[in-house]
Every structure is written in C-alpha cells, then in structure tokens.
Amino acid sequence: MILDETDKKILRLLQVDAHLTLKDIANKINLSLTPVHDRVKRLEKEGIIEKYVSILNKKKLGNNLMVYCQVTLVKQTYDVSAGFNQSIMNMPEVVECNFISGSFDYMLKIILPDMESYHNFHQKKLSILPEVSLINSFFIISEVKSTTVLPI
C-alpha cells in the first residue's frame, strides 16, 4: 500500500491527537469531509492505523518508578524463550519486552508505584521464573522523552 502526502498528513495529525474530528482534519489539510473520512477508514482497514488509545498520566496513577531490566535466560532454546514470553504477557507492570542480541537476552521496561513494589516484583514475580537466570536492573531517574509518534 502506497501512502501519498495527504495520507501522511492525516497520519501525522491523528498520531498526535486522535480526538481531532474529521472536520478539524479536513480544515487543516484543506479538503472536504469525504476524502478525509474515506482515507481514515482505508488506513484503519489496511492496519496502518492499528488502534486508538488513551494515554494516562503515570504519576497521577501512583506509578513513580520506571526500571529497565536486562534479563538473561537459563538457556536460549525456543521452549525456554516461549515460556518466558508467556509469563511476561501476563505481567501488567511489564509495558515493554524485547528479545535482544547481545550480552543478555531480553530488555524489559517496568512501571511500578515505588521501590518496594519493584522489590516485590523482582523477588516474587520475575526472578522466580524458571526460565530466568540473571536480572540486571537500571533505574530511571528522569524521563526525557516518551512518545508513541512514529516518524512519517
């Protein structure tokens, strides 16, 4: 699927604010409702637009700690890896998990209320997994940038 400049303009706008109305978008890119509507629907159908979500404020929800965890598995076989993946999917505090090539196997990003919660998570949920051999934690002191916007 080929995106023309109009598609890209729409995507750039919707990435930043999904609550813009079709009319808002139409005005901003000098078009009528119809093409904007049709294009958005097409972008949704094609899966270019995956979903619309609300971004909540971490701190106001009491989540004041973010941690990167480098995890090394006991073995690098498919079974061990699949078992680990499965466990991670059911951990809401793990907001990011990526399989890595390097001196460890996974990079995780964890969001939690405080250090006590992290201690608990580390001891009772992560290190307890049979697939996990080593955990290396990096505590985030300050968030400089965090965006869902992709370059288009």
Partner DNA sequence: ATCGATTCAGAAATATTTTATGTAAAAATA
Partner DNA sequence: TATTTTTACATAAAATATTTCTGAATCGAT
Closest C-alpha to 66, from 147, 141, 148, 145: 141
Q: How far is the CB of 42 from DNA (least distance, A)?
A: 8
Q: Which does 45 bind (CB under 5 to 8 A by kind): DNA, a copy of itself, none?
A: none
Report yes or no: 119 and 113 within 8 Å, Cβ to Cβ: no
CA 20 to chain centre: 22
Give which of a copy of itself, DNA, none residue 35 binds (C-beta under 5 to 8 Å, depending on kind): DNA
**By CB under 7 A, residue 31 contacts DNA:** yes
The interface mask with a copy of itself, positions 46-85, x = CB under 8 A, is xxxxxxxxxxxxx-xx-x--x-x----------------x
- Measured between alpha carbons, how far is 21 from 98 in angstroms, rounded to an integer? 35
End-to-end CA distance of the chain, in Å? 15
| Binding-site partner at residue 34 among DNA, a copy of itself, none, CB < 5 to 8 Å by type | DNA
The H-or-E segment that residue 68 falls in is strand 65-73
Name which of 9, 115, 59, 147 is nearest 137 in CA terms: 115
Over the window 11 to 50, marking each residue x when it contacts a copy of itself by CB under 8 A and - when it does not, the resulting string is: x--xxxxxx--------------------------xxxxx
Angle in degrees, CA 124, 127, 131, rounded to 5: 125
32 touching DNA, by CB under 7 A:
yes
Q: How far is the CB of 55 from DNA (least distance, A)?
A: 17
Contact 13, 20 (CB under 8 A): yes
Binding residues for a copy of itself, rule: CB under 8 A, are: 1, 3, 11, 14-19, 46-58, 60-61, 63, 66, 68, 85, 88-89, 92-102, 106-107, 111, 138-152
